[in-house]
């Protein structure tokens, strides 16, 4: 009788023995973080010359925005009535605009507002979109249905129209520009985050955490988010290019950065009157904006390839 009881007691122990394998079937703790950090250290990024050029261009534009105003001594707001639309002089290598303001100084100082709005709005969109997508993809059921129907409703509006409506309602300015662009870009990131989260939530390592009594916030932050961080980061960088296009376009329409503060979008609008007599007033800020947008797209593509789990051993 004792032997039979011992055998019965041993059976559950043997049946429960493979349970740790469920946890092991998922990625080991920190594996996704190491993959992302390893790729960002340069071991798998910028493997082609277009990607390398895009990384260098993006880094150069960031340095111009951060350090350029310290290196260019000319005042971008100072008007010189004796040198209106001058094509170039010893004191003004890129000439002056219709009010006699140094064009090089305005280009350098105009980079910071555009990049500040683009990065801040993208960060806002990433935070809101990732939060909504994580909750919807992990909770499922009614919570997912409600959140995703709201996301679909936001996506039903054209992004450009939604941004214009939000910025026009709040009034022109930097804060309204950031809020309008961030809110309009969040639904796209929310949909991607929801898809990635739902896929991860069905895997064994997440199920094992649930059965172990780990709370949902801890699972989302410690387990799910690091494993969807690669594709999500790549999409965020590509979204940065959309935010820059919106910021420049709204400034062109007079709904963004307000004069006299220099801004690439407004500089294109102000210089179009002199497109044939002084095309540099339009071509230079438009080209810099285009280069920033294209560089963000190439960098996003490069990050997506580098951080793709299927492309790693």
Residues 214-250: tens digit of each pLDDT? 888 899 988 899 889 888 999 999 999 999 999 999 9
pLDDT class for 307, splitting at 50, 70, 90?
confident
Burial 126-137 (b: 16+ CB within 10 A, else e): bebbbbbbbbbb
Residues 24-75: tens digit of each pLDDT? 445 555 555 555 555 555 457 777 888 899 999 999 999 999 998 888 888 8
Fold adopted by 46-68+103-311: MetI-like fold (1.10.3720)
pLDDT recorded at residue 95: 85
Domain boundaries of the chain, sorted by first residue: 46-68+103-311
Whether pLDDT at 192 is above 90: yes
Of 265, 257, 270, residue with least CA distance to 98: 270
Per-residue pLDDT, averaged over 281-299, amounts to 94
CB atoms within 10 A of CB 39: 21
Instruction: State pTM to two decimals.
Output: 0.81
What does the alpha-carbon distance between residue 251 and residue 271 come to, in Å, rounded to a whole number? 13
What does the alpha-carbon distance between residue 9 and residue 12 come to, in Å, rounded to a whole number? 6
Whether pLDDT at 4 is above 60: no
What does the alpha-carbon distance between residue 15 and residue 114 come to, in Å, rounded to a whole number? 61
Question: Phi and psi of 237, rounded to 5°?
Answer: -65, -40
Burial 84-119 (b: 16+ CB within 10 A, else e): ebbeeeeebebbbbeebbbbbbbbbbbbbbbbebbb
Q: Considering the chain, what percentage of its residues have pLDDT values greater than 70? A: 84
Q: What is the mean pLDDT of the chain?
A: 82
CB atoms within 10 A of CB 156: 9
């Amino acid at each position: 009788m004792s032997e039979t009881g011992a055998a019965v007691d041993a059976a559950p122990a043997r049946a429960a023995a493979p349970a740790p394998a469920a946890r092991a079937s998922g990625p080991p703790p920190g594996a996704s973080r190491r993959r992302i950090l390893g790729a960002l250290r340069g071991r798998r990024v910028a493997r082609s010359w277009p990607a390398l050029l895009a990384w260098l261009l993006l880094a150069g534009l960031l340095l111009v925005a951060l350090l350029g105003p310290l290196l260019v001594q000319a005042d971008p707001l100072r008007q010189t009535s004796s040198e209106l639309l001058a094509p170039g002089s010893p004191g003004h290598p890129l000439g002056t605009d219709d009010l006699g303001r140094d064009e090089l100084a305005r280009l350098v100082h105009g980079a910071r507002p555009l990049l500040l709005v683009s990065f801040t709005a993208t960060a806002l969109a990433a935070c809101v979109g990732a939060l909504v997508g994580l909750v919807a993809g992990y909770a499922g059921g009614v919570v997912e249905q409600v959140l995703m129907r709201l996301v679909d409703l936001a996506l039903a509006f054209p992004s450009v129209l939604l941004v214009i409506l939000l910025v026009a309602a709040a009034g022109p300015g930097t804060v309204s520009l950031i809020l309008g662009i961030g809110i309009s870009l969040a639904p796209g990131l929310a949909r991607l985050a929801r898809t990635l989260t739902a896929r991860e939530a069905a895997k064994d390592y997440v199920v094992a955490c649930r059965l172990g009594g780990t709370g949902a916030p801890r699972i989302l932050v410690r387990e799910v988010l690091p494993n969807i961080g690669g594709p999500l980061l790549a999409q965020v960088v590509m979204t940065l290019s959309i935010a820059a296009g919106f910021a420049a376009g709204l400034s062109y329409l007079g709904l963004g950065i307000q004069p006299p503060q220099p801004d690439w979008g407004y500089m294109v609008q102000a210089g179009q009157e002199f497109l044939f007599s002084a095309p540099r007033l339009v071509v230079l800020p438009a080209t810099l904006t285009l280069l920033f947008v294209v560089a963000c797209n190439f960098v996003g593509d490069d990050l997506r390839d580098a951080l793709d789990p299927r492309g790693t051993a």
